[in-house]
A and B are shown apart, each in its own frame.
Chain A
Amino acid sequence: MTSKTVQQRGTVTIRFAGDSGDGMQLTGNRFTSVSAVLGNDVATLPDFPAEIRAPAGSLPGVSGFQLHFADHDILTPGDAPDVLVAMNPAALKTNVEDLDPGATIIVNSDAFSPGNLRKARYDTNPLEDATLDAFNVISVPLSTLTVGALDDTDLGKKEKERAKNMFALGLMSWMFSRPTEPTIEWVRTKFASQPELAEANITAFTAGFAFGETTELFAHSYEVKPAELPPGRYRQITGNAAIAYGLVAAAECTGLPLFLGGYPITPASDVLHELARLKHFGVRTFQAEDEIAGVGAALGAAFAGNLAATVTSGPGVALKAETIGLAVSVELPLLILNIQRGGPSTGLPTKTEQSDLLQAMYGRNGEAPVPIVAASTPGDCFDAAIEAARIAVTYRTPVFVLSDGYLANGAEPWRIPAVDDLPDLRSAVRFATEPNHDGEFWPFQRDPETLARPWATPGTAGLEHRIGGLEKADGTGNISYDPDNHHRMTELRAAKIARIAETIPPLAVDHVEGARLLVLGWGSTYGPIRAAVRRARADGGLVATAHLRHLNPFPSNLGDVLRSYDRVLVPEMNAGQLRRLLRADFLVDVHGYHRVSGLPFTTAELVDAISHELKGLS
């Protein structure tokens, strides 16, 4: 066995694609873990169908997992894959359009049967005609090789064949010089109760690795050196795990027990699952009968003195709107996590979009301002949750946290924060214990600094009081239909939210000398925007960029920042929702770039959008 040459690469994007039942998510996740542990920077984009099991071999049944790994810090899961692993014709058909000429395609040739070709709507076999001439196609009989490697086992043919994703993973591990030990370890742990299955998977995996080394099909392998990340201890994390951990951390920071009321909904359910496992942190999760009850129970728990949250996606927020309005009216802390997905209505449950900003901003009856915090990366979901809790508890208000499907399921290396560095929010809780007004308790007598009302929880003797959704008299909290009082209370509620801006850091701008264009983003477009700005600058473009964490209220310097550039471009995965807010608030002619395909922006399209704006300025 002659050992093949190893070529260095700075960055590689791989996409694994196959049937939903082919284990592509698992394969992709495994490859990501190994790459992260190896020290590469990684970013991932799982892409699965909304149906749990669409018919095998069909186009809607294709499940994909893209990952980008590099020897430098990267910001996106990559635009066009350098390598596509296609487990069947349908996977090839649905993904080949995303490839640039010259890309490598590894196909499972065994799956290109007449039946599968028909299901994928291929009239002829693309492996045998000119369809793929622009690419470097490597046909590997993955099924046959896997079954062959497992000859000695007692497994049935079907079970043997099922291990083909491990064969493919082994092959890719060889191709990109990934260590094998961590994966073998991992398989052993995962199948600890089924040692026979564990060994079969390991055999398939090592056979795939060995195949790469020996076959004539591959001339060389590649290596991607570790990236230089800031020092520290790292782990991989998805946005949904990070947001769940952020809630647990916020509970510790505030010293309050955490309560989560929820209802299963894609792509938010994993937050409920994650927290349901963390009961030993004192976390109470409640799977309610519907979205409304999920938030209702959370609001009740907030009244009772918990750090209360509800987690959902856009359709769930629509149902919760009335209760969120009640939370505004009774002024209790409540976290509403919206893991956004494509809309309207049921829309695209498994795809990403950031089109619920205006829903968060305005989706209630009456004047009902709610603060909004948005996460920009999977790991940032952690900090966003803690910041939302700080605002909620300090100002006694519901707060929206906006994440999305891309952040929820995407993973990145995350520098593990030190618990001691987390904010101490206990002083913000300050439960009321004493009468506050001439020996009486006035539930709506506000803190002069924050305008927050006292939080007196049931069980506190002497502070018995009633709250509700009817308008309350300023101070006493008694029902009041007085016209002037209603106007004053409306202004007070708005002023309270506006005051949050005093505790928000000013918007930091990544400016370059001479830049007249500002690219401003919010939420999960952070990565693609930064990557595009970086590339535009490398091409000589003078571009500044900034990213908003707080959407309501805005940081107080935002107007000045906007006005200090000749042109502002806001790329959004919606039809221009932040753009609309900025125009309305600051009378600045903000330009937008909008696309709602259910997928994150590619760097390339944003580079184009930036250069278009730069041209307009010259």
Chain B
Amino acid sequence: MTDTAAPPLRKKDFSSDQEVRWCPGCGDYAILANVQGIMPSLGIARENLVFVSGIGCAARFPYYMETYGFHSIHGRAPAIATGISATRPDLKVFVVTGDGDALSIGGNHLIHAMRRNANLTILLFNNQIYGLTKGQYSPTSELGKITKSTPMGSLDYPFNPVSVALGAEATFVARSIDNEREHLTDMLTRAAAHEGTAFIEIYQNCNIFNDGAFDAVRKNRPQQIRLEHGQPIRFGADHEFGVALKRTGQLEIVDVASVGEDGLLVHDAHRADPGLAFMLSRLSHTPEGPTPIGLFRQIERPVYGTGLNRQVDAAIARRGRGELADLLAGSDSWVVAG
């Protein structure tokens, strides 16, 4: 039904008729608006877009998109989405997930989707808390977090989602923030254009259960580091700090004044080895200290679905399209006469 003469789609063409039900003030609204906003620019027909989610506040996302959508079960979205994207390379498949969904119950599926390089754009809304179940600590909550399930403070060390993605050798790893409109648009657009698994951690404020978790690293705050490919890594109120690679092979925060611009590490997002990107993700384990946002890594690696379909094509090219009658007869049959 797509008519070549049809007017180009606009943002509102991607918003469904469903009433959005997040808490007023939730960071999810800004992300939804941003995602809807980039859709027309992708140049992909609406019917070829699929949003898959698991369970949690973020997982309601597909209902608000006027595309194909699948709100599945807790943690399993990457697996379900892999089945869609691997068999239908004509589709653009997004996974929308949260920190609990992706890194706790669904951790296994997440790392394997990235290892496999399934053709998925994974948006992880990290609010460092369980929202939908009303405020338990999550696998990204800071150590010692006091919640209803941890009245004396959480005991387990949190995940840093970007470190996890780099550890799984995802081919596209980025971080952005819910209300940094231009930055998020840029990251989303680049992720959507990536072939293979593109992973974006989006810091998302849950104003009900974990308000202000990312205040230290929001726009114009001195702890935010903006990664730009090919640029020396600088940050601070007056860009007075930088990141340098020490002789020991470790990264260190330095005064630009003392080492000079030349002494700074120049960010290379396309290094084959994920090691440096990983070190950047470790500058601060949680978003309180110096925290990079932007594109950590983007490389090319064969895409799972492409390989799967190529094997099918190659088998058909080599052996001819299978004949069911031949398969059933096998190579060792005999006749019983009537």
A residues with a Cβ closer than 8 A to B are: 33, 36-37, 39, 229-237, 245, 248-249, 252, 257, 259, 261, 278-284, 286, 288-290, 292-293, 296-306, 308, 322-323, 326, 330, 416-419, 458-470, 478-479
Give which listed residue, A237, A259, A278, contacts B83 with CB less than 8 A. Answer: A259
Give which listed residue, B76, B308, B309, B329, contacts A235 with CB less than 8 A. Answer: B329
Query: With a CB–CB cut-off of 8 A, which chain A residues contact B81?
Result: 300
B79 to chain A, nearest CB (A): 3
Report the Cα distance A494→B59, complex, angstroms. Answer: 28
Are B332 and A37 neighbours in the complex by a CB distance under 8 Å? Answer: yes
A467/B334 contact (C-beta < 8 A), A233-B329, A461-B46 known: no
Query: With a CB–CB cut-off of 8 A, which chain A residues contact B73?
Result: 322-323, 326, 469
CB-defined interface of B76-102 with A at 8 Å, one 1/0 digit per residue? Answer: 101111111011101100000000000
Are B332 and A458 neighbours in the complex by a CB distance under 8 Å? Answer: no
Query: With a CB–CB cut-off of 8 A, which chain B residues contact A468?
Result: 62-63, 69-72
Give which listed residue, B1, B79, B86, B320, contacts A292 with CB less than 8 A. Answer: B79
B82 to chain A, nearest CB (A): 5
Q: Ordered nearest first, which 7 A-B pairs have the shortest CB separation?
A: A300-B83, A468-B71, A296-B79, A297-B83, A231-B338, A466-B69, A279-B315
Give which listed residue, B16, B82, B329, contacts A297 with CB less than 8 A. Answer: B82
A304/B91 contact (C-beta < 8 A), A37-B334, A286-B83, A326-B72 known: yes
Known: A280-B322, A466-B18. 14 other contacts (CB 8 A): A233-B329, A237-B330, A261-B83, A284-B87, A284-B312, A300-B84, A301-B86, A302-B83, A304-B84, A304-B88, A460-B47, A464-B66, A464-B67, A470-B71
Query: With a CB–CB cut-off of 8 A, which chain A residues contact B45?
Result: 461
Are A248 and B327 neighbours in the complex by a CB distance under 8 Å? Answer: yes
Are B328 and A245 neighbours in the complex by a CB distance under 8 Å? Answer: yes
B248 to chain A, nearest CB (A): 36
Are B76 and A296 neighbours in the complex by a CB distance under 8 Å? Answer: yes
CB nearest neighbor in A for B62 = A466
B126 to chain A, nearest CB (A): 22
**B333 close to A (CB within 8 Å):** yes
Which of B47, B87, B336 has the most chain A CB within a 10 Å cutoff?
B87
A232/B335 contact (C-beta < 8 A), A280-B320, A281-B322, A323-B76 known: yes
A458 to chain B, nearest CB (A): 4
Q: Count residues of B near A (Cβ-Cβ below 8 Å).
A: 63
Are B47 and A233 neighbours in the complex by a CB distance under 8 Å? Answer: no
Query: With a CB–CB cut-off of 8 A, which chain B residues contact A261?
Result: 83
Report the Cα distance A470→B53, complex, angstroms. Answer: 12
A296/B109 contact (C-beta < 8 A), A233-B329, A468-B62 known: yes
Query: With a CB–CB cut-off of 8 A, which chain A residues contact B318?
Result: 280
Query: With a CB–CB cut-off of 8 A, which chain A residues contact B65?
Result: 466
CB nearest neighbor in A for B328 = A416
A233/B334 contact (C-beta < 8 A), A280-B319, A462-B1 known: yes
Which of B71, B309, B316 has the most chain A CB within a 10 Å cutoff?
B71
**B311 close to A (CB within 8 Å):** yes
Query: With a CB–CB cut-off of 8 A, which chain B residues contact A288?
Result: 79, 112
Report the Cα distance A284→B70, complex, angstroms. Answer: 22
Report the Cα distance A461→B78, complex, angstroms. Answer: 24
Query: With a CB–CB cut-off of 8 A, which chain A residues contact B247?
Result: none
A595 to chain B, nearest CB (A): 35
Report the Cα distance A465→B71, complex, angstroms. Answer: 11
Report the Cα distance A245→B327, complex, angstroms. Answer: 8
- How many Cβ-Cβ contacts under 8 Å join chain A to chain B? 204
Are A465 and B79 neighbours in the complex by a CB distance under 8 Å? Answer: no
Are A303 and B325 neighbours in the complex by a CB distance under 8 Å? Answer: no
CB nearest neighbor in A for B330 = A235
Query: With a CB–CB cut-off of 8 A, which chain B residues contact A245?
Result: 327-328
CB nearest neighbor in A for B116 = A289
Q: Which of B219-246 contact A (CB under 8 A)?
A: none
CB nearest neighbor in A for B90 = A459
Q: Which of B238-297 contact A (CB under 8 A)?
A: none
Give which listed residue, B83, B314, B322, B334, contacts A296 with CB less than 8 A. Answer: B83
**B133 close to A (CB within 8 Å):** no
Sample 12 A-B pairs with CB under 8 A, ordered by A number: A39-B334, A235-B330, A235-B332, A280-B318, A282-B316, A286-B82, A289-B112, A296-B76, A458-B50, A461-B47, A469-B73, A479-B18
**B4 close to A (CB within 8 Å):** no
A233 to chain B, nearest CB (A): 5
CB nearest neighbor in A for B337 = A231
B269 to chain A, nearest CB (A): 27
CB nearest neighbor in A for B74 = A322
A466/B71 contact (C-beta < 8 A), A289-B109, A416-B329 known: yes
Are A290 and B18 neighbours in the complex by a CB distance under 8 Å? Answer: no
Are A461 and B83 neighbours in the complex by a CB distance under 8 Å? Answer: no
**B324 close to A (CB within 8 Å):** yes
CB nearest neighbor in A for B18 = A478
Query: With a CB–CB cut-off of 8 A, which chain B residues contact A282?
Result: 312, 316, 321-322
Query: With a CB–CB cut-off of 8 A, which chain B residues contact A299?
Result: 72, 80, 83
Query: With a CB–CB cut-off of 8 A, which chain B residues contact A306?
Result: 87
B9 to chain A, nearest CB (A): 12
Give which listed residue, A36, A232, A303, A464, contacts B84 with CB less than 8 A. Answer: A303
Query: With a CB–CB cut-off of 8 A, which chain A residues contact B334?
Result: 36-37, 39, 233-235
Report the Cα distance A181→B8, complex, angstroms. Answer: 73
**B108 close to A (CB within 8 Å):** yes
**B48 close to A (CB within 8 Å):** yes
CB nearest neighbor in B for A276 = B311
Query: With a CB–CB cut-off of 8 A, which chain A residues contact B69?
Result: 465-468
CB-defined interface of B154-174 with A at 8 Å, one 1/0 digit per residue? Answer: 000000000000000000000
A18 to chain B, nearest CB (A): 25
Report the Cα distance A306→B106, complex, angstroms. Answer: 24
Report the Cα distance A448→B53, complex, angstroms. Answer: 31
Query: With a CB–CB cut-off of 8 A, which chain B residues contact A304?
Result: 83-84, 87-88, 91
A230/B84 contact (C-beta < 8 A), A280-B316, A286-B308, A300-B70 known: no
CB nearest neighbor in A for B17 = A478
Report the Cα distance A248→B84, complex, angstroms. Answer: 20
Query: With a CB–CB cut-off of 8 A, which chain B residues contact A293?
Result: 76, 78-79, 82, 108-109, 112
Which of B65, B79, B112, B324 has the most chain A CB within a 10 Å cutoff?
B79
CB nearest neighbor in A for B311 = A279
A283/B312 contact (C-beta < 8 A), A296-B79, A297-B83 known: yes
Report the Cα distance A468→B80, complex, angstroms. Answer: 12
Query: With a CB–CB cut-off of 8 A, which chain A residues contact B330?
Result: 235, 237, 416
Report the Cα distance A289→B113, complex, angstroms. Answer: 9
Query: With a CB–CB cut-off of 8 A, which chain B residues contact A302?
Result: 83
Are B335 and A234 neighbours in the complex by a CB distance under 8 Å? Answer: yes
